[in-house]
Amino acid sequence: MNATIDSLRESDPRRRIIVALDTSSADEALRLADRLRPECGFVKVGLQLFVANGPSVVAKLASLGFSIFLDLKFHDIPNTMAGAVSSVLPLNVRLTTVHAGALEGVGAAAEAASGISPSVAILGVTVLTSHAEGAVSELYGSPLDTVEMVLRLGRSALAQGAHGLVASPKEIVRLREELGPDPLLVIPGIRPAGSAAGDQRRVATPAQAMADGADFLVVGRPVSLAPDPRAAFLRIVDEIAPSV
């Protein structure tokens, strides 16, 4: 087992849920994070929050004791990707993303991470959860279906040094069958029963995704837009606990 991956494995179901702070307001993000403490220990900072506020919001969240999933999906030439990863690693992030199709750029990002902070995992983003089944062939003219494209991108990213992958819940079983237990699987598109799917297309319940082999579940609106975010978070904890 890779030491970086091993350091991120969690047995506490509360640490297996990453709450997405999908807002452009740092104040809103910090208020939500504060309402979720101490049960929630892992939050996601994506493009919306980071572009609006920069590294300062990451530093504030880290100072509150949160582990950070910085989801910026870098995709560029290798030198630029290595430089981008080097720039964010001092922010004490635990997970960060690159596009799995960046080829040598994935390797450059992974090498930069290992040289600065071996506790940070590089995740390759495969096919976005907003893409419906069949979108791969429609958009790219590929004969591969969505699952096969996720597998191809996943194998490429892992071969380049990525520690894990971001994929939809629909691909977890095949990824585990084909790639084994080692890669970290960080899974968005999580919707508790009765929740609106919104712009997500390939979704599953928290219990199903965890039972299929996810390491972390990324949950946004079902928690952040709930009347009581903490209660919504704890309901998901209770749902996944039997599978952890």
How does DSSP classify residue 215? S
Q: Which helix (H) or strand (E) holds 82?
A: helix 78-88
3-state secondary structure 56-73: HHHHHHHHCCCEEEEEEE
Tally Cβ neighbours within 10 Å of residue 173: 13
With tokens 């704890």, the residue in question is: 234
Which residue type occupies 24?
S
For residues 114 and 109, give the distance between their C-alpha atoms in angstroms, rounded to a whole number. 9
Q: How far apart (Å, rounded) are the C-alpha atoms in residues 96 and 45?
A: 10
Residue 4 identity: T
C-beta atoms surrounding 228 within 10 Å: 11
Residue with tokens 């390759």: 124
Per the CB < 8 A criterion, the answer to whether 132 and 121 are in contact is: no
Annotated active-site residue 44? The verdict is no
Question: What angle, 0 to 180 degrees and rounded to 10, lies between the N-to-C axes of helices 26-36 and 55-63?
Answer: 20
Catalytic choice (44, 60, 73, 170)? 73
The set of catalytic residues is 73
